[in-house]
């Protein structure tokens, strides 16, 4: 059973020039429960080589490994699943190609999108952007906690909040119904990646108590 408490998205351009595998190791050392590899500009061969190394690290740490968008790479490196956006491969097609043994995550920002993703076979939703963020250029206008609550009320699968989440607001995001938080710069952009992950994970888990 996957834990979505702290879902760290790895995109090297936000990592301050540090190697991708170093970012992954440090995020896992800090307790990241899921890692997503999001490298849209890397050639397939490099993605596969990188993915195989990350697969080893996540397996050793007991963390879930998701790859953004690339079903072929998911299958090649035996990742746990794929995450797709609204402009990517249709979710129902991804579900058919993946089969039932892999995880399918879908980005959603409205109740309509969320319900459609569930109907198409999504296993979890990436919901946002909750707050304004500069980490993701196509994030769109923030949906806020009200948008998160509406989607949470509309679906029964796990909801992972994304967009502008940090130590100051993680607790209110969990209180609004998120099953976990997805972060980019709040962890991989921090000077100490492991410490940043540790603090965010603690904030998520304490907010449930």
Which residues have a catalytic role annotated? 38, 107, 136
* pLDDT (tens digit per residue) in 66-103: 999 999 999 999 999 999 999 999 999 999 999 999 99
Under the banding of pLDDT at 50, 70 and 90, the label for residue 179 is very high
pLDDT in tens, 94-148: 999 999 999 999 999 999 999 999 999 999 999 999 999 776 556 578 999 999 9
Q: Across-strand partners of 68?
A: 83
Q: Calculate the alpha carbon distances from 56 to 77, 85, 86 in Å.
A: 10, 26, 30
Pick from 62, 84, 63, 86: nearest CA to 73: 84
Whether domain 6-193 has CATH 3.20.20.70: the reply is yes
Query: What φ, ψ does residue 152 adopt, rounded to 5°?
Result: -60, -40
**Distance from C-alpha of 79 to C-alpha of 64, rounded to nearest angstrom:** 8
Which one is predicted more confidently, 9 or 139?
9
pLDDT reported for residue 138: 60
Helix axes 44-61, 20-29, angle to 10 degrees: 20
CA distance 70 to 139: 19
What mean pLDDT is predicted for residues 17-25?
Answer: 96
Our separate counts of H helices and E strands in the chain read: 9, 8
CB atoms within 10 A of CB 100: 8
- Provide the pLDDT for residue 208: 87
């Amino acid at each position: 059973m996957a834990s979505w408490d702290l879902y760290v998205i790895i995109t090297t351009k936000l990592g301050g020039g540090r190697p991708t595998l170093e970012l992954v190791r440090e995020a896992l050392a800090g307790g990241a429960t899921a890692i997503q590899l999001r490298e849209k500009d890397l050639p397939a061969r490099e993605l596969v080589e990188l993915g195989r190394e990350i697969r080893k690290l996540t397996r050793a740490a007991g963390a879930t490994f998701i790859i953004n968008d690339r079903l072929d790479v998911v299958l090649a490196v035996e990742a746990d699943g794929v995450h797709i956006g609204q402009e990517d491969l249709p979710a129902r097609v991804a579900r058919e190609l993946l089969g039932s043994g892999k995880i399918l995550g879908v980005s959603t920002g409205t109740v309509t999108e969320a319900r459609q993703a569930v109907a198409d076979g999504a296993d979890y939703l990436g919901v946002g952007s909750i707050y304004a963020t500069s980490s993701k250029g196509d994030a769109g206008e923030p949906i806020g906690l009200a948008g998160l609550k509406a989607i949470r009320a509309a679906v029964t699968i796990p909801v992972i909040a994304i967009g502008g989440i940090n130590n100051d607001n993680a607790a209110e995001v969990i209180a609004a119904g998120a099953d976990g938080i997805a972060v980019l710069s709040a962890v991989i952009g921090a000077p100490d990646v492991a410490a940043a992950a540790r603090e965010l994970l603690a904030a998520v888990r304490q907010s449930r108590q």
